[in-house]
A and B are shown apart, each in its own frame.
Chain A
Amino acid sequence: MSLLLAQFLAGLASAASLFLVASGLSLIFGVTRVVNFAHGAFYMLGAYLAYSLTTHLTGPLGFWLGILAAALLSGIIGGVLEILLLRRIYHAPELFQLLATFGVTLATQDLVILIWGPDDLVGPRAPGLTGALPILGQFLPTYDIFLIVIGPLVLCLLWLLLHRTRFGILLRAATQDREMVGALGVNQKWLFTSVFALGVFLAALGGALQLPRTAVTHGMDLSVIVEVFVVVVIGGLGSVPGAFLAAVLVAELNAFGILIYPAISLVLVFLVMAIVLVVRPYGLLGRREGAARAPLGALLRPWRPLHWVGSLGVAVVLALATLLPFGLGRYGLGVATEILIAILFAGSLQFLMSVGGRASFGHAAYFGLGAYGAALAVKWLGAPMELALLAGPALAILGAALFGWFCVRLSGVYFAMLTLAFAQIVWSIAFQWVTVTGGDNGMLGIWPPRWAARAPTFYWMTLLLTAAVVLGLRHLTFSPFGYALRAAWDSELRAEAQGLRPKRLQWLAFTIAGAVAGLAGALFAFFKGSVFPDAIGIGQSIDGLVMVLLGGVGTVSGAVIGAIAYKAGSIWLLSQTDYSRLVLGLLIVFLVVLFPKGIAGSLQAAWLTIRTRRPKTGPGA
């Protein structure tokens, strides 16, 4: 009995900081509709600043002042970031802000190393709260009691702020219908800035309050951000009480789960999220998202097949690509092959995003299933490469069909998070099932047979498959199936009235995208000769998103350009500097500001402008 109580209280203490960070994220999303990936970075920044401040300001007063000042300072930095960066891109397509905040996160990881050094930092413990109280024979640290109190306290304060102040009323109004709030004469700019600063303040406070419990490290941003996304989604986006409920739920399940099955914490939050989203699509306390934003489709010109100039360009590029092995060495060809595989992966995600209208945060699941499918076929069935290249996509299709059936019932961020949950479940299976998958030591010796082992041969094989599949996806986009998909996205109701079956169309699109990603994964396995769980990791999913967004989500094949730019850039930077994340992060931020439609999207827009300005010189369309 006393153990259960102790476990319950330990869970509540863990829930507190999770809630602080999650509530900030939820507020920001509710008002600005920005999925703030940099929220974890601010959590980390809060902890680092608190470390510096509390080691300089000593004494009990100094400690608490330091914690508070760290959070305030981070809040101000957050506000400045909103003014300088996010304000410029609110009108960019959905999720583009995610890309920008991802760039900020990358840069921050290297910045904290430059400022605070690479070592883990252990800050002081909270003065007066270092002891423990005996409760029913178990010791409960006094700092835990403090945290247990602070969680509900912040919840109450936020509730008062939201329900008893003019600022709160505006915030809630903006969460429901921000265009209307704008129409009523409220200055949205400052509303957005202040809510962003408030959210960042809460995140940084959550990080600063971890100081007496753990070490401050330059990896703590990523370890918290995903968990916080999950908590926000379980609770319901934009709902502060929901975030609290979800934080407590997740923390308690974890505290009790490890008593029964100690290895559970690896996957628990994602299992909970998957179940919650399947049963309650908008989270525990969330409401259906209002039509706050015009669907992406309406922002775009209708797609057209390539102009003859474009087709000619594609043919020339393909011809050049075919000749590449005669001009490049083995290393250059290796990089080129890696880029081709990235194109295939990004292309599959683009099909789902741009044609299907659904952004997946867990597309790595199908890349990974493809890679593991191929590797397992080689390892356990002794299959040759030719067969394994079919087995990989086959496993990916199975996975995509199964998970897709649940996912397509949701849309927007909820869809994204459910795909993430499934990806994490697949990841933890690959990670945990050591006897079959080798765990994180991966599966080795998946090399191509003799005929394909030479770098040029493997390159040509990859080029052939990539070109065929990308052109095939384009063809599909302009087929009746593609138009039906587009219709289902633009207006589900009208599409249904016309006799289309939107859910089934999207399920099919999801499976096709999964199959292509699976092919990319299978090729990747043979290219690298090995498979590791990070092929299914969150990093791989994010790489995919970045490539599509960089290329231009509003285009049909922008991902090709996005993949080339991102992959070549990151490989080159990695070989040139130890601070590749800083450079890459800043580069992404600049690209986002300069090309809010993505690289390909901006090129396309420029081309269209030229053509409309000088209609005579342009060929007749």
Chain B
Amino acid sequence: MPLIPTCRIAAGLLLAALTAGQTMAATIKIGEINSYSTLPAFTEPYRKGWQMALDEINKAGGVHGDTLEVISKDDAGKPSDALTAANDLIAGEGVAFLMGGFFSNVGLALADYAKQREVFYLAGEPLTDAMVWQDGNHFTFRLRPSNYMQAAMLAEEAAKLPAKRWATIAPNYEFGQSAVAVFKKLLSAKRPDVEWVGEQWPPQGKLDAGAVVQAIAATEPDAILNVTFGADLVKLVREGQARGLFKDRSVVSFLTGEPEYLDPLKDEAPVGWIVTGYPWYTITTPEHAAFLKAYEDRYHEPPRLGSIVGYTLMKSAAAIIAKAKDTDTESLVEAASGIGLDSPFGPIVFRAADHQSTLGAFVGTTAVKDGKGVMVNTVYKAGGDFLPSEAEAASLRPKD
């Protein structure tokens, strides 16, 4: 007989504990996908960035008391593998939404998956304009300044140069092609007197530097637009300097000021190029100082642009969840539209019209200091100033 009441009490206590657990400390799972094995040089700092943000958020009590948990997957740099991972996260792990992506085609594949499966997707690195415009959809938001925005920032600077004859060199794929196309369009609009005298389209990673440098030099340009990066950039810089290509010529270059690309060049970094990038060593704003200190204390190395993207992406995710109050797709999409938050670069907004954030980039010129490549005379260009108006951007998107 005494057994039954004890059982009842125990069961009651258990029930109370369970329901209390549900209301007090649930876990919100977030699925994250990136090219960790293919591009560790970029995705490692990125991972460190979001891990730091995640710890900050959870130490501060999570979001409305809920702990955030990130389940991270590798896509091996392939869209099809990214989709398998997305399926694993959504159907297998039961995450609330997806974030991440590095390559444009991976980002587009995930965005299309998000549309098909009606899942919220917060993209970090993919640069292609198609992601928020031509192929933009209701479920996809993107953090990083797009190809168009960076081209607009550089074109603004390029228009101030006296140069009239321009040559371009860009990797032969969508990123390079659209970077050149947008830059040409914007610069020609500002400077109708500009002439486009030559273009080179080496395959990504296989720049035949000697031949390409000669071919560009033969068109006798006043200025050169460069979109190559990584090992191709190293080849171009070395061969170009040996052959005198950059002598008395202006060079405008995408991404070159990002530590990811500038650091490996060491004292051979080009001097006087106008570039976009991330000069963490010259930014003095309090937001960035706080981020820099926390990052260096934690990892004992300077951040890279990937760190900023990872950190801000995680903070954006937390802000969206906080605003949404619930983690179903429609609440998240609604919360993300027009949401504002603070990033290490200052306040940003995810525009409601095209789901593009107004995170900006730094523009400056390259120099060599203490045997290292750096950016000098840097200016932060707020992303919002280089985007078409929301009405115009909305007209670029397919009708849902």
Contact = CB atoms under 8 A, between A and B. Distances in A.
B157 interface: no
Nearest to A571: B84
B265 A122 contact: yes
**Size bin of chain A's contact surface:** 35 or more
Chain B contact residues, majority secondary structure: helix
Given A6-B214, A528-B80, A331 B92 contact: yes
Which of B80, B111, B202 neighbours the largest number of chain A CB atoms within 10 Å of its CB?
B80
A575 B91 contact: no
B291 interface: no
Given A265-B206, A331-B88, A575 B235 contact: no
B76 A330 contact: no
A498 interface: no
Contacts of B74: 574-575, 578, 580
A132 B76 contact: no
B351 interface: no
Contact of B266 (A6, A122, A138, A143): A122
B95 to A, nearest CB: 12
Contact of A213 (B111, B200, B209): B209
B112 A255 contact: no
Interface stretch (A215-223, A298-306, A396-404, A556-564): A215-223
B389 interface: no
Interface in B185-232: 199-203, 205-206, 208-215, 217-218, 230-231
A445 interface: yes
Interface stretch (A186-194, A354-362, A384-392, A529-537): A529-537
A7 B112 contact: no
A266 interface: yes
Interface in A475-530: 524, 528-530
B165 interface: no
Interface in A251-302: 251, 254-255, 258-259, 262-263, 265-266
B268 A122 contact: yes
Given A120-B231, A434-B174, A254 B84 contact: no
Nearest to A533: B105
B156 interface: no
A259 B215 contact: yes
B248 to A, nearest CB: 14
A258 B212 CA distance: 7
Given A122-B266, A263-B172, A442 B91 contact: no
Given A122-B266, A141-B239, A335-B84, A263 B135 contact: no
Interface string A560-579: 00000000000100110011
Given A440-B173, A574-B81, A529 B113 contact: yes
Given A338-B84, A439-B177, A138 B235 contact: no
B133 to A, nearest CB: 12
Interface string A117-130: 01111100100001
Nearest to B263: A119
A232 B291 CA distance: 53
Contacts of B130: 441
A217 B231 contact: yes
Given A3-B214, A338-B84, A575-B88, A441 B242 contact: no
Which of A120, A140, A532 neighbours the largest number of chain B CB atoms within 10 Å of its CB?
A120
Contacts of A14: 208, 210-211
Given A265-B202, A532-B80, A120 B215 contact: no
A214 interface: yes
B195 to A, nearest CB: 17
B79 interface: yes
Interface stretch (B15-23, B37-45, B330-338): B37-45
B36 interface: yes
A362 B334 CA distance: 47
B78 A139 contact: no
Contacts, number: 205
Contacts of A130: 242
Contact of B211 (A11, A434, A445): A11
A214 B231 contact: yes
A138 B80 contact: no
B305 interface: no
Contacts of B39: 118
A213 B235 contact: yes
A227 B91 CA distance: 41
A122 B79 contact: no
A574 B88 CA distance: 12
B239 A213 contact: yes
Contacts of A447: 116
Given A262-B215, A329-B91, A330-B87, A579 B231 contact: no
B211 A10 contact: yes
Contacts of B397: none
B104 interface: yes
Contact of A528 (B109, B206, B209): B109
B104 A144 contact: no
A464 interface: no
A110 B40 CA distance: 11
Interface in B57-96: 73-74, 76, 78-81, 83-85, 87-88, 90-92
A220 B80 contact: no
B76 A574 contact: yes
B243 interface: yes
Nearest to A6: B214
Contact of A442 (B37, B79, B88, B92): B79
Nearest to A218: B40
Contacts of A530: 79, 83, 108-109, 112
B80 A132 contact: no
A444 interface: yes
Contacts of A102: none
A444 B108 contact: yes
A442 B242 contact: no
A62 interface: no
Contacts of B211: 7, 10-11, 14, 254-255, 258
Contacts of B104: 440-441
B128 interface: yes
Contacts of A266: 172, 201, 203
A432 interface: yes
Contacts of A215: 230-231, 234-235, 264
B276 to A, nearest CB: 19
A113 B84 contact: no
B12 interface: no
Contacts of A263: 172, 201
B43 to A, nearest CB: 8
A330 to B, nearest CB: 4
Contacts of B388: none
A131 interface: yes
29 contacts: A7-B215, A118-B39, A118-B41, A120-B230, A120-B264, A122-B264, A122-B265, A214-B209, A214-B234, A214-B235, A215-B234, A262-B199, A330-B91, A331-B87, A331-B91, A334-B87, A432-B172, A439-B173, A441-B108, A441-B128, A444-B112, A445-B116, A447-B116, A528-B83, A529-B113, A530-B108, A530-B112, A534-B78, A574-B37
Given A132-B242, A215-B234, A524-B80, 4 more contacts: A439-B177, A441-B174, A574-B84, A578-B40
Interface of A: 3, 6-7, 9-11, 13-14, 110, 113, 118-122, 125, 130-132, 138-141, 143-144, 212-215, 217, 219-220, 223, 227, 251, 254-255, 258-259, 262-263, 265-266, 329-332, 334-335, 338, 431-432, 434, 439-442, 444-445, 447, 455, 524, 528-530, 532, 534-535, 539, 571, 574-575, 578-581
